[in-house]
Amino acid sequence: MNTFKRKALSTVVLGALGAAGAAHAVYHDPNGLGQALIYPYYSVQTANGSAFNTYISVVNSTSQGKVLKVRFREGKTSAEVLDFNLYLSPNDVWTAAIIPTDSSATAGGRLITSDTSCTNPAISASGIDFRNYQYVGDGLGNGLDRTREGYAEIIEMATITGNALSAATHNSAGVPANCAILRGQTVATTGGLAGNLSIPTGGINGTGTLINVANGVEMGYNATALSNVSSLPIYAEVGTEQGNFNQAENISVVVANNRVYRSTFPATSGVTAGVRAVSSAIDRSAIINEYVLDTFTRSNTDWVMTFPTKWYFYVGAAGTPESPFTAPLTTSGACEPVAINFFNREEAGAAAALEDFSPLPPGTPGSALCWESTVMSIRNGATHVPSGATSGVLGSVNTVPINVRTGFQNGWMNVAFTGTNATTTGITAATTASTNVITGATLATPATYVGLPVVGFMVRTFNNGNVNGTLSNYGSAFDHKYRETITPAP
């Protein structure tokens, strides 16, 4: 039975993806190799008196050269804080780090790299500071401290051929042949890219590492990979927001709950069909993960939840969002309500009375995720667990505290999205062909993807302090698990 099920699933998925040469369809790649990568979180915030650094890597696992858009966004409204183009030769790896510009609490983030791969513009040896140009005047604060946490996206815009590939390829000394011809404002028309751009092919992967040396913790995660984002080159010169998900295909394939959905999306109310397709590929109705708050190891837990397409949906009058988002943007954020159920490791909590739960039900303070990249700080009232405005592990200020029952030192939680648009209109396709891979039943009714497009992970620490002269603190990261709700189901 299991063998049959796997074969049936493979056959249906290949058909949905258009294995015979049909149009591209964007999908969340479970193998971690894609055309676009989403890094759910970077941080240089301070926790326990010491600042984090964030290391970023991107790997070209193919035999083709590529030009990528690298973009960092701050965590409150997804305002762009740094954007440049990166060239990877075949089998190349690019690495960089995000550090604070200085030791003050108001310092911004800075990107540094010792990597030799070509970038446009060139990154100096001292690095390049993150910028606040796109969020000044939005009412949420103009300071560079907003750039201290957020997320990143890296999108393959095209493969490179001919002179461009030769220029980006490393020689025996490990240095590209000629980065100069790949730089400038008109590289595609008068520079080294002219006539040397071809269709993107995917195959990139990456990791993020949050490290706090003084605290003795390091947490690594894999970037979320999206494949088949575009069947055409989407190259954009530097100095523009282009080369983003607005240019994605209008078709997605989603495998969920023993079903395969292939949907096409309309462009409506200022939101492109491509953004809707990308959003459907990572749309979830609930998030599931664990927490650890053990007193003996003075453990803490944070959950990172990032909505990488949320900013595209704020196109209406006075910032009224398009579905699936519900809440308008205010000076307190665009707060999407959630319902939270928590349990300890012995099942307690599931049958508890409502007044035993905190946060309170949706619609009351503390039960919403307000930022594009929100850190949920799990708390239980223990003396070693933080009670202030920053999160316990990451030192995030874009945080919401969630209090489980006093005495609950470990367990798991279910966080469900309950906003009006998230639970009703969702992301609705124009057409959908769906198949139940167990029964073979098919349906040709437009699907509605219920929930919100979200990515992220849980981080936890074990703080043993100095044990026999050795700092014995530990940290780790674990991807979220998700519930997906798509209606109707075949």
Average pLDDT over residues 82-97: 98
Q: Tell me, what's the pLDDT at 16?
A: 53
Listed by start position, the domains of the chain span 31-247, 271-426+450-490
Tally Cβ neighbours within 10 Å of residue 57: 17
Question: Are 374 and 79 within 8 A, CB to CB?
Answer: no
Structure tokens at 292: 């650890």
Residue 486 φ then ψ, to 5° = -130, 130
H or E segment at 9? helix 2-17
Write the DSSP string, 96-135: EEEEESSSSTT--EEEE----S-EESPPPTT-EE---TTT
**Residue 355 predicted with pLDDT over 70:** no
Q: Give the percent of the chain with pLDDT over 70.
A: 90
Confidence of residue 353 (pLDDT cuts 50, 70, 90): very low
- Name the most confidently modeled range: 13-17, 329-333, 338-342, 391-395: 391-395
Q: With H, G, I as helix, E, B as strand and everything else as coil, classify residue 37.
A: strand
Cα–Cα distance, 349 to 347 (Å, whole number) = 6
Confidence of residue 47 (pLDDT cuts 50, 70, 90): very high
CA R_g for the chain: 23
Cα–Cα distance, 480 to 289 (Å, whole number) = 6
Q: Which is more confidently placed, 24 or 79? A: 79
Confidence of residue 241 (pLDDT cuts 50, 70, 90): confident
Question: Are 274 and 248 within 8 A, CB to CB?
Answer: yes
pTM: 0.92
Confidence of residue 388 (pLDDT cuts 50, 70, 90): confident
Tokens 């969630």 identify what position?
A: 402
State the maximum Cα–Cα separation within the chain, in Å, rounded to a whole number.
69
User: Sign (positive/negative) of CA torsion 372, 375, 380, 384?
Assistant: negative
Q: Which of 368, 377, 300, 382 is nearest to 339 (CA)?
A: 368
Virtual torsion, Cα 353, 355, 358, 362, nearest 10 deg: 90
Q: Tell me, what's the pLDDT at 306?
A: 98
Cα–Cα distance, 482 to 256 (Å, whole number) = 10
Cα–Cα distance, 251 to 259 (Å, whole number) = 17
DSSP state of 161: -
Question: Are 158 and 235 within 8 A, CB to CB?
Answer: yes
Structure tokens at 37: 């990568």
Q: Which amino acid is at 473?
A: N
Cα–Cα distance, 206 to 203 (Å, whole number) = 10
Question: Are 28 and 281 within 8 A, CB to CB?
Answer: yes
**Residue 9 predicted with pLDDT over 60:** no
Cα–Cα distance, 128 to 41 (Å, whole number) = 19
Cα–Cα distance, 103 to 106 (Å, whole number) = 9
Structure tokens at 447: 């699907």
Average pLDDT over residues 320-337: 93
Virtual torsion, Cα 32, 34, 36, 40, nearest 10 deg: 0
**Residue 384 predicted with pLDDT over 70:** yes
Q: Classify burial at 61, counting beta carbons within 10 Å of its beta carbon; exposed 0-12, middle 13-18, buried 19 or more.
A: middle
Q: With H, G, I as helix, E, B as strand and everything else as coil, classify residue 229.
A: coil
